Amino acid sequence: MKPSPPPPLLPILLFTIFFLFPTIITSVSLPLPPKSSPSSPSTSTSTLEPNQLKALQSLNIPTSKNPCIQPSFHNATQCDSSKPFSHLISLTLSNCSTSLSLSYNALKSLSTLQSLHFLNCPIAPIHFPPQLTSSLLSFTSINSLHKISGVWLSHLANLTDLTVSNTPIKASGPYVILAHMKKLKTLTISNSNLTGFLPKYIHSNLTHIDFSSNNLKGNIPFSITMLDGLESLNLSSNGLKGEIPSSLGDLISLKNLSLASNSFSGSIPDSISAIPGLVHMDLSSNQLNGTIPKFISEMKNLKYLNLANNNLHGVVPFNLSFIKSLTMFKVVGNSNLCYNHSVLSSKLKLEIAACDKYGRPMSPPPAKDSSGDDSNDSDYDEEDDESSIHKREHHHGPNKFVLGVAIALSSIVFLIVFLILCSKCCR
C-alpha cells in the first residue's frame, strides 16, 4: 500500500542492536580482566625499592612478579609511582599462618604504607615503628591480631579509615581509641567486645560510624547528633538505653540508621522524618512506645523500615501506596499495634491484629507460621475483590520480574510480526 516500504534489513539491524548487543557486551567484558591481568607485561611500572622487596619476602608475600604491577595477587600490594624505585603504599595480609611474625625491621622499611589491612590473620600483637604509625591513613583488622588494645590503636592518629571487626579490643571505651584521631572519616568497630560509653566529644568529619555488636552502654550523646556529615550510623546490638534524642533529626546527611537490638525507650521522635535522604531505618528490638509518627510516610527516600519487636501502640498510620514503595516493612511483635482494616489488607501479612473502631487491636495477630495463603481464608477477608489485588502485591519481586519478561516477550513477538509483515510487503 505504501509507496516504498522500508527494507527488512533496518528492523533486523535495530533488533540486533537492542536485544543482542547488550548480551554480547556483558558476556565479553566479564571474563576479560582475569584473562589479561596476570599475563600482561608491565610497561610503565617501575620496580619496588629493594629493601621493601626484601621485607615483603620476609613476610612470605609472593613476589615472584613485581608486586607493583596492578592488579597484584589478590590486590595484596599497591605502589606509588616514584622514581627510580617505587614504594609500597598499600599492603593486605590475608589468611596468614599463625606462625607469621612481622619483624620490627621489616615493618620499619615498610613505613611508606598508607593502608595496612589484616584479614583472617590471627597473629600475635605487633609493635609498630613510629614512622609507620604516622604514615598510616587506613587500618583494618578483620578477624585478626588475637587481641588489640585501645591504647595501641589510639597511636594511629593520622587515620582517616579505621575498621576493626571480629577482633576483641581491650579498652575502657571508644574515647580512648578515638581521642586523637581528628581526621577520621569512616569508623567501624564491630563485633569486637568493645565496652564503655559512646564518646562525649567527637571532633572530626565522620561520615560512617559502625559500632554494631559490642557491649556499649549508656545513652546516645549529643556529640553524635552534631556530626552533620554523618551518612551512616549503626549502633545495633549493644546495651544502649534511654530515649532516642530528637536532635537525631539534625543528622541531615544520614542515609542509613540502625539502633536495633538495644534497650531504647520512649517514643520515636517526629524529627527523624526531617532527615531528607534517609533510606534505611532499623529501630527493631527495643522498648520504644508511643505511636508511629505519621510523618514517616512523607520520607521520600525511605526504602527499609523495621519497627518490629517494640511496644508501639495505636493504628499503623500508613496507606497501601506508602507500604508498597518500601522494599522492607516490619512491625511484627508490637502487641498493641493494629492496622486499619479499611485502609490495609490482611494479605499484607503485617502479623499484627486489625483495629477495632477505637483503634485498638481486635483479636490476637495471626500465627507467624500459618503456612499457605489458601489453606484458611475465613479470618479477615470480607472484601474479597480487594484482597485479590493485595495478594498480587504481596509477592513483590517475582511479579516485577514476570512483568518484565512479559513485556520483553511481547515486544519480541511484536517485532517478529512486524518483520513478517514487512517481508510480505516487500515481495
3-class secondary-structure state, position 271: helix
Q: How far is CA 23 from CA 13, 14, 30, 304, in A?
A: 15, 15, 11, 32
User: In the complex, what is the shortest distance from the CB of residue 18 to ligand NAG, in angstroms, rounded to a whole number?
Assistant: 29
Task: Count CA atoms closer than 13 A to 423's CA, side-chain side.
Answer: 8
Pairing of strands 313-315, 287-288: unpaired
Q: Give the binding site for ligand NAG (CB under 6 A).
A: 71, 74-75, 94-95, 133-134, 157-158, 168, 182-183, 190, 193, 195, 204-205, 208, 212-213, 215, 232, 234, 236, 256, 258, 265-266, 279-280, 282, 289-290, 297-298, 304, 315, 319, 321-322, 340, 342-343, 355, 357, 359, 375-376, 378
* C-alpha closest to that of 336 among 279, 385, 292: 292
Q: The sheet that has 353-354: what strands, in order across it? A: 313-315, 336-339, 353-354
The smaller minimum CB distance to ligand NAG, of residues 15 and 380, is found at: 380
The smaller minimum CB distance to ligand NAG, of residues 103 and 376, is found at: 376
- Alpha-carbon gap, residue 303 to 121, rounded angstroms: 37
User: In the complex, what is the shortest distance from the CB of residue 152 to ligand NAG, in angstroms, rounded to a whole number?
Assistant: 13
User: In the complex, what is the shortest distance from the CB of residue 293 to ligand NAG, in angstroms, rounded to a whole number?
Assistant: 11
The smaller minimum CB distance to ligand NAG, of residues 47 and 158, is found at: 158
The smaller minimum CB distance to ligand NAG, of residues 263 and 411, is found at: 263
User: In the complex, what is the shortest distance from the CB of residue 84 to ligand NAG, in angstroms, rounded to a whole number?
Assistant: 24
User: In the complex, what is the shortest distance from the CB of residue 137 to ligand NAG, in angstroms, rounded to a whole number?
Assistant: 9
Radius of gyration of the chain (CA): 29
Pairing of strands 256-258, 232-234: parallel
The smaller minimum CB distance to ligand NAG, of residues 191 and 423, is found at: 191
The smaller minimum CB distance to ligand NAG, of residues 55 and 181, is found at: 181
Please check whether residue 139 is in contact with residue 158, taking contact to mean a CB–CB distance below 8 angstroms: no
User: In the complex, what is the shortest distance from the CB of residue 256 to ligand NAG, in angstroms, rounded to a whole number?
Assistant: 4
Residue closest to ligand NAG (Cβ): 134
Residues 6+ apart with CB under 8 A from 243: 219, 264, 265, 266, 267, 269
User: In the complex, what is the shortest distance from the CB of residue 413 to ligand NAG, in angstroms, rounded to a whole number?
Assistant: 34
- Alpha-carbon gap, residue 129 to 126, rounded angstroms: 10
- Alpha-carbon gap, residue 73 to 62, rounded angstroms: 8
